[in-house]
Amino acid sequence: MATAKKAPATTAAAAKTAAPAKKRTPNAAFMKALTPSPALAAVVGAAPLPRTEIISKLWVYIKANNLQDAANKRMINADAKLKEVFGKPQVSMFEMAGLIGKHVK
């Protein structure tokens, strides 16, 4: 029984190399410097920062103080400083960004 050769399937990587890559323009809303509240400034500093930098500094603080839950890495255990920001002892990393919105202007 003879089998016909199949043509090699085109992959997504091959399709991407064929079309020229379109350069993404940064969203101005993410780049706007925001002033943190006093509670948030205790963690990330008092200088105005873009929202992306605030989240990055929060993650540096969380990892430096070993605040990720050992059993479920998506959960963050708040210490005294973060409890003032979050308002509860444990939050998921997905709701963290929403809770930060209340502490920036």
Structural domains in the chain, CATH included, are 29-39+47-103 (1.10.245.10)
Helix (H) or strand (E) holding 67: none
Binned average pLDDT, 10 residues per bin, the chain of 105 residues: 63 58 76 94 95 94 96 96 95 92 92
The pLDDT score that the predictor gives to residue 25 is 80
Let me know if 93 is exposed, middle or buried by CB neighbors in 10 A (0-12, 13-18, 19+).
middle
The pLDDT score that the predictor gives to residue 69 is 95
The pLDDT score that the predictor gives to residue 3 is 66
Report the chain's terminal Cα–Cα distance, integer Å. 73
Residue 90: how many CA atoms within 13 Å on its side-chain side? 8
- Give the C-alpha separation, 20 to 17, whole Å: 7
